[in-house]
Every structure is written in structure tokens, then in C-alpha cells.
Amino acid sequence: MARDLDSDAAPLGRSSIENARKRRSPRFTADFPVQVRVTTEGPTKVIACDGQGTDISGGGLAVTADIDLHIGSQIRVRFTPPYGGEPMAFRCFVRNREGSCYGVEFITENDEDYQNAGELMTGLAAMKDSLLLT
């Protein structure tokens, strides 16, 4: 399946110049399915829905999903990266929202989190490089 990939796509509600200054890792425009999972409190239950991922980087992604998430909420996303490979799962904070599109930041608190984010960045960079060579 072919997927579009553009580096440094504009984020939700910010100029691309402001985005480039604040980003720790390059952002790529892509289109891929994502599963979103939210665990609610009192009583505890898990809500899952399918969504679409776009604008991905090693630090987070934009997700469009038919679910009501609040800024600051902690969620879990699972997806197969746009370059292929094994599915990945990340715990995330919802950082911004525009309608049903959410900007989420990957939580990196331990070695496994950092390793997953590093693998994602490496894969995205390799995919970008391979597109430039074709």
C-alpha cells in the first residue's frame, strides 16, 4: 500500500515556521489506521475505537477518531507505522484538539518507551530517504 510522506507538515492551528522551531523531531504526513484506547475511572472500563493517523513524528501524531477526548487525557494508541513493520503501541497525552482530530504526544518515561520512539524515528527517516531516491 503506497502512503504519502511529507516532512515537517503543519500542525493543528500553528504556522509551519513556529512548528519547526518547537519540534524535537521532524513530522511526516502519512495516512494509516490507528486504534485508540481510553481507560475510564470509577467504574473502570476500557473504550476502544478505530481512527486514522496523520502527521507522525518520533514524539507523537495527529489522530482523527470518533471519540470525545479531553486535552490532558492519557490514552493508548496502537498502529503499524506507515513504513510497515510490526505494530507499535504508545501511551500518550492528548495535547490539542480540533473537532475530531487530536494531537497526541508519546509518553517516554522508560527505556522501552525511548526505544520504541527511536525505532519509529529511524523507520520514518529511512522511508523518507527511500522516497527521495525513487
CATH code (residue 128): 2.40.10.220
Structural domain includes residue 47: yes
Scan for cell 493517523, then name that residue. Answer: 53
Q: Highest-confidence range of 14-18, 38-42, 122-126, by mean pLDDT?
A: 122-126
Confidence check: pLDDT of 134 > 50 = no
* 81 part of a folded domain: yes
Residue 12 lies in a domain: yes
Instruction: Report the number of distinct structural domains present in the chain.
Output: 1
What pTM value is reported for the model? 0.76
Q: Which three cell numbers stand for residue 93?
A: 497525552
Would residue 1 count as lying in a domain?
A: no
Residue 33 belongs to some domain of the structure: yes
Residue 67 domain-assigned (yes or no): yes
**Model pLDDT for residues 6-27, shown as the tens digit of each residue:** 444 444 444 444 444 455 667 8
Q: Is residue 30 part of a domain?
A: yes
Amino acid 28: pLDDT = 86
Helix (H) or strand (E) holding 101: strand 101-106
CA distance 94 to 75: 7
Asked whether residue 90 is assigned to any structural domain, the reply reads yes
**What are the CA-CA distances from residue 123 to residues 28, 42, 86, 104, 119 (Å)?**
11, 39, 11, 19, 6
Instruction: Judge whether 96 and 13 are in contact, CB under 8 Å.
Output: yes
Element (H, E) at 116: helix 111-133
Give mean pLDDT, residues 96-118: 94
pLDDT of residue 115: 92
**How large is the average pLDDT for residues 41-63?**
91
Range of the domain at 103: 6-133
Buried b (16+ CB within 10 A) or exposed e, 4-35: ebeeebbbeeeeeeebeeeeebbbbbbebebb
